[in-house]
Structure 1
């Protein structure tokens, strides 16, 4: 039986809240110095990730006072529950998707063959037709057939449409009182992370589709963690410590990896997901790309929702992985592609 949060976190009075300072890249990190620069960058990322976790859970942005005595016991119970989680209960991938993605690895596959595979999934057909008729793809001649739409999208566009068709319902299916909002926020981040991963992946020599896919799925397990936390009564959720939320993120990461293996995603994607908790030097090119893209997406999304005063310049935080100009271009492209007005309608 899961204990009540009320017992664990009941406090006589909440401590005074202090607003956090704006999130900025530290001076040492900006100057490219080692030592203090590395620790400053780590502190910056820790603050960014804590704010992101609180935003996903709908918690206030709060400077906490350290781990609560009841949190380790709660975390152990959550670990037990997450280890028993049956990944087979996750929504199944559309039956046609593995065949379609396999066909898309062949650069010479005919448009008629791709259209035949897409045509086996009515929902995917609708999505392909909708995207192909959007302003981005609009042509002088109207779309007359599914094959015409497939050819217009091209292999890269079709890969992205198929991936979104696969993952959007899964990420938006988080249950509980915050389910709809949390699910939309997860998807908003996934889109940005996938876009940033594909953008940076070209500099790291990664396969464009694998980069995009890794970004889309990297926080799949967060929905399950939101469900576990939302099932409990929280007297003062703003008192949850950064260490506790970081440990929850670790549980989410392990669930994401299990889901990726269950879905038999490409080997490079699974490897990149498994490397997210390792040091920079041990990560593969896709692992490094995903690590940076994930945090750029966090910063951009939090800036859009005014959790941050503005999106911080993170261009010089990872000089050993990407040139500052490459990260700066990625941040600019994210800002261009994802207008804050599009996400503001989902805010509570």
Structure 2
């Protein structure tokens, strides 16, 4: 079976087997929180509580204080572990046909803006993404972007690699959650964008920027797969779900993310960072693994803050004193707010 990243490099494509649609366990749209719920959400949370609240947000579940799993949950976890252990990563969406040639071109210093614009122009969705990003506050120029070629030149090769990666991963995160997991897929994508941005920011002095971005955007690929398996395995009458149950699901998702990344032939440092993440509670030792660990949680806090499920300015600057300085984490959080929450409020 040719992997997605082998296909990027020009090898043959092989169609994956069809996916089984999900049935029951779907995320619900977020209801507007009451004043009491908002006040409670703004109380200081531990990192474990923050992660638990994010997982509940993805699945559309209420807060729950119980940590000891019920017998029913233990039985479901066993079935989930067996099913997730056999999850076929080839069931993830195929690569759009224009992307292999485009990404190969982005690796060449001899391909000009006009040639790249011609390739991008064959995919209307990718055109829209390139134009949207080039017109964002991050790339805002004195003169409006009038053409696709202008946008391509403005973004440069690194910016285009990021846009293309997003174009690949967004349908994967949406589709992996199953037919009824659309809301979960969108919430995972919101996190993936922020996690990739934070990982590239934190890893800029020690890792390849594109590899750091890639690690951040793929790190929760397996979560959508677990949502789909829950759809199939969890009974409709299952209770609110304990913290232990959700943490166990998150750990299974980390292992699926690693297997998917191996299937796609991602760079070795990205694979190692994902492997370290799957080996929790062991703390990562690689620079990229440490950046990913922090970026994942910072992105969760950012998403929760945007939806009034945590303090909008949650300070995590002292959360990892042995990994990054408080000043570095604080600057990263400020950058996330500027890039996402503030730009969203302006309609960008």
If the length of structure 1 is used for normalisation, what is the TM-score?
Answer: 0.78
1:87 paired to 2:89? yes
Offset at 1:84? 2.0
Matches within 5 A, 1:53-72: 53-72=55-74
Q: 2:315 aligns with which of 313, 316, 319?
A: 313
Map Cα deviations across residues 90-123 of structure 1 (whole Å, 9 max, x no partner).
1012244344334434556533443354345443
State the distance in 2 between where 1:122 and 1:20 align.
44
Q: Which moves more between the two structures, 314-323 or 111-120?
A: 111-120
State the distance in 2 between where 1:296 and 1:127 align.
24
Change (3 A) 1:21 1:300: closer
State the distance in 1 between where 2:292 and 2:286 align.
10
Match for residue 244 of structure 1? 245
Change (3 A) 1:281 1:220: closer
Query: Contact (CA 8 Å) 2:173, 2:188: kept in 1 or not?
Result: yes
1:181 paired to 2:183? yes
Change (3 A) 1:281 1:182: closer
Match for residue 44 of structure 2? 24
State the distance in 1 between where 2:283 and 2:132 align.
42
Q: Which moves more between the two structures, 252-261 or 122-131?
A: 122-131
Q: 2:304 aligns with which of 302, 305, 328?
A: 302
Change (3 A) 1:192 1:134: closer
Match for residue 226 of structure 2? 225
Query: Contact (CA 8 Å) 2:134, 2:155: kept in 1 or not?
Result: yes
State the distance in 1 between where 2:70 and 2:43 align.
25
> Secondary structure of the residue that 2:94 maps to in structure 1?
coil
State the distance in 2 between where 1:92 and 1:60 align.
34
Offset at 1:156? 2.1
Matches within 5 A, 1:93-104: 93-104=95-106
Q: 1:131 aligns with which of 133, 142, 163?
A: 133
Match for residue 173 of structure 2? 171
> Secondary structure of the residue that 2:81 maps to in structure 1?
helix
Offset at 1:327? 0.2
Larger Rg: 1
Offset at 1:262? 1.7
Offset at 1:299? 1.0
State the distance in 2 between where 1:80 and 1:53 align.
21
1:324 paired to 2:326? yes
Change (3 A) 1:130 1:24: closer
> Secondary structure of the residue that 2:204 maps to in structure 1?
helix
If the length of structure 2 is used for normalisation, what is the TM-score?
Answer: 0.78
Q: 1:287 aligns with which of 271, 286, 289?
A: 289
Structure 1 runs of 4+ aligned residues shifted over 6 Å read 18-21
Unaligned runs of 5+ in 1: 6-17, 26-43, 344-348
Offset at 1:139? 5.0
Query: Contact (CA 8 Å) 2:42, 2:309: kept in 1 or not?
Result: no
State the distance in 2 between where 1:235 and 1:311 align.
37
Match for residue 254 of structure 1? 255
State the distance in 1 between where 2:305 and 2:231 align.
25
Q: 1:140 aligns with which of 123, 139, 143?
A: 143
Match for residue 274 of structure 1? 275
Query: Contact (CA 8 Å) 1:93, 1:263: kept in 2 or not?
Result: no
Size of the alignment, in residue pairs? 307
> Secondary structure of the residue that 2:278 maps to in structure 1?
coil
